[in-house]
A and B are shown apart, each in its own frame.
Chain A
Amino acid sequence: MKKKISILGIVFLLITLGVAIRSSAADLKSVRIGYLQNDIHQLACWVALEKGFYTQEGLEVKVAGIFKAGPELMSAFAAGALDMGYVGIAPATAAVANKAARVVVLAQANSEGSALVIRKDSPAQTLGDLKGKSLAVPGHSTVQDFLLRKAIAKAQLTDQQFSIMVIKPPEMIAALRNKDIEGFIAWEPFPAKAATGDVGRVLSPSREIWPDHPCCVLAADTQFLGSRPEEAKKMVRAHVRATDFINQHPKEIIPIALKYTGMDEKTILQALKNVKYAYALNREAEKEYVHFLSQWKFIKVEDGSAFVTRFVNLQLLNEILKK
């Protein structure tokens, strides 16, 4: 009898668990979005929020999460907690290729906009001078991890010649000041902040590592895109308007950037110089991400081109741009 009860108990527990995991109730009215904390690449999102572009499109947008790094945001997508989000293309690629989250990229948020920073008093002039030193990245499979490895390969060096560690960007400057690391690679405005705070100096902006490389993108959950395509299109339209606004009104975006990053004006002005805001995404560049992530065994993708065709869907963007 006892045994039967315990078996029934186990079955009940498992079914409850299954139901609980499956039912991540979506809020049907609003569009739940997420973005990265202090990441100036995602300025278009903040501009759209502040200038009311989402509201003007008839959308009710709810910020459902602000994250410290791309992988965390992709976990939220996997949990069904987000409909759309601004995130680095590399973590999005890793999450989709590893079948954790089901998202597609609808537009680019920015290209370039990261930098390799070293301590202010470091005598290093090139990456080769940093051999044997500790360098920090925001996370494995992030755009910056990718850029650093690319820079290392470009300098005909190997990853093993450096001690690469993961530190979240908000802690990077403190680690650099404490001499825990010799340098870091991060998205703006952290490199600019290290420079204006007199802690570090930029050794190479990411455009020198890979000119015009895609960075952050606007991604949508596939289920959301399938069930509410009109809202997704409005989101892309608001994104296009916000990106145009950034490029046309460089002075008006500064208070918004200040508000969302909490940083000083000098830092923001310096950071903005390093970022390109453009919505057209280069598919060939995405293929390169897929190729490298596979090569490092972070993902397993047999046919890179087919993956990119599924992963990058610029149809909505193109429809909007045609008009």
Chain B
Amino acid sequence: MTRDRILPPLFFLLIWQALSALEWIPSYKLPSPLQIVGGLKELIVVGLPPGHPLHLHLLFSLYRVGMGFALAALVAVPLGLSLGWWRRWRRIVSPLLEVIRPIPPLAWIPIAILWFGIGIQSAAFIIFLGAFFPILLNTVSGVLSINPTLIEAARTLQAKERDIFLKVLWPGAIPSIFVGLRIGMGIGWMTLVAAEFTGVREGYGLGYMIMTARDIQRADEIVAGMLIIGLIGMLIDWVIRIIERRIVRWR
């Protein structure tokens, strides 16, 4: 089992390294695995721009995504629960949401800069937009997927609206909410990097770091930065899954 997980990627890396060594893959277009490791080392030790080490880029990016994501979850979950519960409310709000939803978060960048300037607020806003809709839609569908007979049964047992909301709706929707949170975090993370391409005030951020590597044409550092983004994204998803498993124990 472990062999199956390790050998193919290792083989892939070896072939890649060999093709690079033979100059089949020119290093200025796609650096070899060893060059990427070298680039990563420089990002950690020297930093990019020099003096701006990798861990600080990472912290700033996590801070931005944390703010935007938390805001999105705080707004989207209650809104999604209410939209799932009250049909009339859903009919009123849906058209507006359907117009805004297809607009890519990145298309908001120029307007975000105009509204919030360059800084945490505009970055958080872009991430908020990326994370908001997956969380909202999954919450709504979570509520809608609850078997109506459960609600009817609760009503027959004289449960109050408040109890139905807290004891039937909320636990019933939670698995779906977590799916939304995971998708939302993934999209928020992707959006963050692009949001940082337009400029950051503090001089830190993974997207900004990659742009700097592009400015000085260091393909090894660009790919190393991309790998870091991928790994962190994977780690965050893993953490959310652990939290989900703890909260949704009955699944």
Query: A residues touching B (Cβ–Cβ < 8 Å)?
Result: 6-7, 10-11, 14-15, 17-18, 21-22, 69, 71-72, 74-75, 78-79, 91, 94-95, 98-101, 134, 136, 139-142, 163-168, 171, 174-175, 178-181, 296-299
Contact = CB atoms under 8 A, between A and B. Distances in A.
Interface in B90-138: 113-114, 117-119
A161 to B, nearest CB: 13
A147 to B, nearest CB: 15
B199 A171 contact: yes
Interface string B44-62: 0010011000000000000
Interface string B1-27: 000000010011001100100001111
Contact of B8 (A10, A17, A165): A10
B217 A95 contact: yes
Given A10-B11, A10-B15, A18-B19, A98 B218 contact: yes
Contacts of B157: none
A306 B210 CA distance: 30
B42 to A, nearest CB: 9
B201 A165 contact: yes
Interface string B210-236: 011011111100000000000000000
B3 to A, nearest CB: 10
Nearest to A13: B12
A100 B217 contact: yes
A202 to B, nearest CB: 22
12 contacts: A14-B12, A22-B25, A71-B215, A71-B217, A72-B214, A78-B28, A91-B217, A98-B217, A134-B201, A166-B208, A179-B117, A180-B119
A295 B50 CA distance: 10
B25 A21 contact: yes
B203 A167 contact: no
Contacts of B46: 297
A100 to B, nearest CB: 3
A21 B214 contact: no
A216 B208 CA distance: 25
A206 to B, nearest CB: 19
Question: Which 9 A-B residue pairings sit nearest by Cβ, starting from the closest?
Answer: A100-B217, A140-B215, A95-B217, A297-B50, A71-B215, A18-B24, A167-B199, A139-B215, A180-B117
A175 B25 CA distance: 41
A79 B29 CA distance: 7
A78 B217 CA distance: 9
Contacts of B174: none
Chain A residues touching B, majority SS: mixed
Given A100-B218, A297-B50, A180 B29 contact: no
Interface residues of B, number: 36
Given A7-B8, A7-B11, 15 more contacts: A10-B8, A14-B15, A14-B19, A21-B29, A71-B215, A74-B217, A95-B217, A98-B217, A101-B28, A139-B211, A140-B216, A163-B202, A165-B203, A171-B113, A180-B117
Interface of B: 8, 11-12, 15-16, 19, 24-30, 46, 49-50, 113-114, 117-119, 198-203, 208, 211-212, 214-219
A101 B49 CA distance: 20
Nearest to A297: B50
A99 B27 contact: yes
B211 A22 contact: no
B215 A94 contact: yes
Nearest to A102: B28
A309 B25 CA distance: 28
Contacts of A94: 215-217
A314 B200 CA distance: 39
A166 B24 contact: no
A141 B213 CA distance: 10
Contact of B215 (A14, A91, A136, A180): A91
B199 A165 contact: yes
A36 to B, nearest CB: 14
A299 B201 CA distance: 25
B215 A175 contact: no
